[in-house]
Structure formats: structure tokens, C-alpha cells
């Protein structure tokens, strides 16, 4: 289907199903139950899952295929965000121009940075991208304030001079409120809530817009991974010098890959402002670039599904883990004797709430040390364990039969 082989079609369909039913799947616990705070099925978080999924898929196209570790990818996300907000401010409140423009602007920006950075490889490439991203961040936060809103950030306002206030169904400032981004009259923050039994499921318009775009992005990534172009990029990763000796110029391939990756980041930025029309400079800081690296590594570099898993996992940790506090821990361990209960709470305390970064750091280190392939490799290993057991038992039976 769609020019994919059976396995990839299966993968795409599974991802599509997961994404489509995410509002239900992510809310496994009834409302008002003790475990309800582990529910991740609220619009804001689900939007972030898919948006950062797109960001990580794009980063993985660069790092996973070619092995070039960019430490400045957040710059493209930031540039995309600014471009998106300006479209919402100047053109129309409809999100389509914003999303398209943010992708294009990030693409142009990545041509510029990629052209220079790709002249070096290895750690120098990492440092160059880092330097460019830090430069963009510093400029966006200071000198470029008229364009970027400086440290307060850029957002849509009441009196934005839109060229087409009514174009494509975009409503004007009705009721004196700042208009919300929308798609042909469908507001991004509009939700349909469905209550079944104790469960409350929220189906959010913005989430589904992001999800559909994410599926398209995922499909494109699969096609890139399976194409001759993708093979060429893998060849760059395994031995670029040999490739050059055979008379191939790898530069255009690398630049194309870098630009595609940058456009994915820009797309993610555009979607981010389409959901919440606010863009700040801190989105470009190098910690943000580090985050996408974490996501990709955690999920599994060079795998198709890995980055999406990693993005989901980190965002889940960030939102859910950081909400757990001591009172809750005391509730959970209430069945223990008092001394033991306090001890358990004291042991776990540094890892939760504000300390979730510590958990993240430890988890990340463990993954890099023991599971260089990330969660996907972990899954494969567990799968392999069962398979091997099965094989062993079959050989056992065979050997007993032979005896």
C-alpha cells in the first residue's frame, strides 16, 4: 500500500491506529480514580506527543541515517515558530499558511546553516551547529526583538493587521477576544468530550490536525528510509571516504538530508504555534536541541518508530512524573509499616516532582550504556529472548526424539 512493502504498511497502520485512538488509549484510568493522574489523554499533552514526534522523526533522518549529530536542531524549530506566528498575525488566522510557511522558512534557514556546517564532520559538525543555534538564540533574545518579541516572546494580538481576516473562513476578532487559530472555521482548541462510564475522553480538533500531519510525516520518513536516497545516506554513515573515492559527491545528498531534517523541525514549530500562538526564544536554546537528541536516542536511533516512542516517553515523563508529590507517595506506600513507608518516600523523593530531570538523566545514561539502540532494541531483545527460548525447546525436543 502507498508503495510500501508489507512490513512497513503494517507499521504505518499500527501507528495510525494508535494515533487515532490515542485519546482513548492514553486515558486507561477512570476519572476520579486514584490513578487518574497517570492519564495522558488531555489535548495539550497529546498535541505535544505528536509535535515532538515529528521533530524527532526529522532529527532521526539526519542523525539516524547519516550519523551527523546536530546539536542545534532547535534553531529550526524556533525559526519555524516565528514564521508561523507572523503568518497568523499578518495573513490569516487559518493555520494552513502558517504551517506551510514555517516549513519553508526553516528549510531556507537550514540550507544556509547546512551549507556551512556540512563542510566539516564529526564533532566539528556538532560544534558548528551548536554555535549557529546559540547565535540564533542570542540574537532572537536581544537584537532581533522587533521581529521575535525578545524574551517575552511573539504572540498574536488583538489588533493584528491581517490581510485576509475573512479569508478561508478565518473569523475576525469576534467578541473582542484574541482570535484562536483555526482551520476553515474549526478552532484548534475545540474539543468534543465523551463520557463513558467513569471514563472521560477528549477528542481535540488541534490534536487530530497534528496527528494527520504526523502520519504524513511518518509516511514520508518511511519512504526516505527505503529509497535509494536513504541508502546513499546510510552509505555516508558507514564510510564517507570510500564513497568519495568511488567518485560520488556526497555533499548534495548530505545537504538535502539536512534540509529535509530542518523542514521537519520547522513543521513541528509551525504546528506548535498553530496550537498555541506563542513563540519564545528559549525554544531555540541548546537545551532544547539536547532534548530532541535525548528523545531520538531513548527511542532508538536509525529506527522508524523509535523517535516517536522516545518523544512520547519524554513528554509523558515531563508532564506526569513531575506532578507526583510526596503526599501521593505516602498514599501509595500507606500499606507499609510507618518506618518503611517514610524510608520508601525518602528514597523515591529525589526522582519525582521537580527532580524528574534526574530520572531522565539516569534513564538516558542507562540507555546509552546498555542499550545503544534505545527502547526499540530493548523490545527486540526481549522479543529475541522469547524466540530463542522457543527455538531451544524445539531443539530439545528434537534431540530427545533423536535419542
The binding site for other proteins (CB under 8 A) comprises 67, 69, 116, 119-124, 126-128, 130-132, 134-135, 138-139, 141-144, 286-287, 290, 293, 297, 350, 355, 357-358, 360-362, 364-365, 368-369, 372
CB of 117 to other proteins, least distance (A): 9
The C-alpha atoms of residue 220 and residue 24 are separated, in whole angstroms, by 26
CB of 128 to other proteins, least distance (A): 6
For other proteins, the closer CB: 223 or 349: 349
CB of 19 to other proteins, least distance (A): 28
The C-alpha atoms of residue 230 and residue 247 are separated, in whole angstroms, by 18
CB of 101 to other proteins, least distance (A): 25
User: Can you list the positions of beta strands (E) in 133-204?
Assistant: 154-155, 182-183, 186-187, 191-196, 199-204
For other proteins, the closer CB: 13 or 366: 366
CB of 64 to other proteins, least distance (A): 11
Task: Give per-residue burial for 191-224: e unless 16+ CB within 10 Å, then b.
Answer: beeeeeeebbbbbbbbbbbbbebbbebbbebbeb
The C-alpha atoms of residue 367 and residue 273 are separated, in whole angstroms, by 32
The C-alpha atoms of residue 56 and residue 343 are separated, in whole angstroms, by 38
For other proteins, the closer CB: 61 or 141: 141
Task: Give per-residue burial for 23-54: e unless 16+ CB within 10 Å, then b.
Answer: beebbeeeeeeeeeebbbbbbebbbbbbbbbb
For other proteins, the closer CB: 120 or 391: 120
CB of 288 to other proteins, least distance (A): 13
Nearest of 144, 101, 133, 146 to residue 269 by alpha carbon: 101
For other proteins, the closer CB: 134 or 191: 134
Q: Write the burial class of residue 123 (CB in 10 Å: 0-12 exposed, 13-18 middle, 19+ buried).
A: exposed
Q: Is 386 left (phi over 0), alpha (psi -120 to 50) or beta?
A: alpha
For other proteins, the closer CB: 156 or 285: 285
Task: Give per-residue burial for 318-341: e unless 16+ CB within 10 Å, then b.
Answer: bbebeebeeeebeeebeeeeeeeb
For other proteins, the closer CB: 260 or 294: 294
Radius of gyration of the chain (CA): 23
Q: Write the burial class of residue 4 (CB in 10 Å: 0-12 exposed, 13-18 middle, 19+ buried).
A: middle
Using an 8 Å Cβ cutoff, are 296 and 56 in contact?
A: yes
For other proteins, the closer CB: 25 or 131: 131
Nearest of 261, 216, 314 to residue 65 by alpha carbon: 261
CB of 13 to other proteins, least distance (A): 32
For other proteins, the closer CB: 135 or 186: 135
CB of 362 to other proteins, least distance (A): 6
For other proteins, the closer CB: 95 or 141: 141
CA atoms within 13 A on the CB side of 23: 22
CB of 170 to other proteins, least distance (A): 35
- From first CA to last CA, the distance across the chain in angstroms is 49
CB of 361 to other proteins, least distance (A): 3
Amino acid at each position: 500500500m502507498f508503495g510500501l512493502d508489507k512490513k512497513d504498511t503494517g507499521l504505518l497502520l499500527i501507528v495510525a491506529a494508535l494515533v487515532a485512538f490515542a485519546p482513548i488509549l492514553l486515558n486507561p484510568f477512570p476519572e476520579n480514580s486514584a490513578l487518574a493522574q497517570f492519564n495522558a489523554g488531555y489535548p495539550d499533552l497529546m498535541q505535544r506527543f505528536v509535535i515532538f514526534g515529528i521533530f524527532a522523526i526529522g532529527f532521526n533522518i539526519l542523525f539516524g541515517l547519516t550519523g551527523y549529530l546536530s546539536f542545534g536542531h532547535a534553531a529550526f524549530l524556533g525559526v519555524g515558530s516565528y514564521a508561523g506566528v507572523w503568518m497568523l498575525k499578518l495573513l490569516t488566522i487559518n493555520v494552513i499558511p502558517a504551517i506551510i510557511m514555517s516549513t519553508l522558512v526553516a528549510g531556507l534557514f537550514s540550507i544556509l546553516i547546512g551549507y556551512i556546517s556540512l563542510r566539516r564532520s564529526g564533532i566539528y559538525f556538532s560544534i558548528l551547529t551548536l554555535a549557529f543555534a546559540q547565535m540564533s538564540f542570542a540574537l532572537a533574545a536581544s537584537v532581533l526583538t522587533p521581529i521575535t518579541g525578545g524574551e517575552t516572546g511573539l504572540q498574536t494580538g488583538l489588533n493584528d493587521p491581517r490581510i485576509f481576516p475573512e479569508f478561508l473562513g478565518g473569523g475576525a476578532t469576534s467578541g473582542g477576544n484574541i482570535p484562536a487559530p483555526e482551520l476553515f472555521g474549526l478552532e484548534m482548541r475545540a474539543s468534543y468530550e465523551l463520557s463513558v462510564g467513569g471514563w472521560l475522553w477528549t477528542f481535540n480538533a488541534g490534536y487530530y490536525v497534528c496527528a494527520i500531519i504526523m502520519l504524513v510525516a511518518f509516511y514520508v520518513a518511511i519512504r526516505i528510509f527505503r529509497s535509494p536516497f536513504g541508502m546513499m545516506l546510510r552509505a555516508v554513515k558507514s564510510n564517507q571516504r570510500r564513497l568519495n573515492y568511488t567518485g560520488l559527491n556526497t555533499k548534495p545528498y548530505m545537504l538535502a538530508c539536512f534540509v529535509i531534517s530542518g523542514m521537519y523541525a520547522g513543521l513541528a514549530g509551525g504546528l506548535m504555534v498553530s496550537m498555541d500562538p506563542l513563540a519564545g526564544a528559549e525554544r531555540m536554546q541548546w537545551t532544547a536541541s539536547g532534548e530532541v537528541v535525548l528523545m531520538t536516542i531513548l527511542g532508538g536511533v536509525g529506527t522508524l518508530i523509535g523517535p516517536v516512542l522516545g518523544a512520547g516517553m519524554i513528554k509523558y515523563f515531563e508532564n506526569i512524573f513531575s506532578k507526583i508529590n510526596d503526599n501521593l507517595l505516602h498514599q501509595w506506600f500507606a500499606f507499609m509499616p510507618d518506618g518503611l513507608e517514610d524510608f520508601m518516600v525518602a528514597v523515591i523523593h529525589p526522582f519525582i516532582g521537580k527532580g524528574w530531570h534526574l530520572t531522565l538523566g539516569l534513564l538516558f545514561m542507562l540507555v546509552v550504556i546498555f542499550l545503544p539502540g534505545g527502547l526499540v532494541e530493548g523490545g527486540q531483545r526481549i522479543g529475541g529472548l522469547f524466540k530463542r527460548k522457543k527455538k531451544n525447546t524445539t531443539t530439545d525436543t528434537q534431540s530427545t526424539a533423536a535419542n
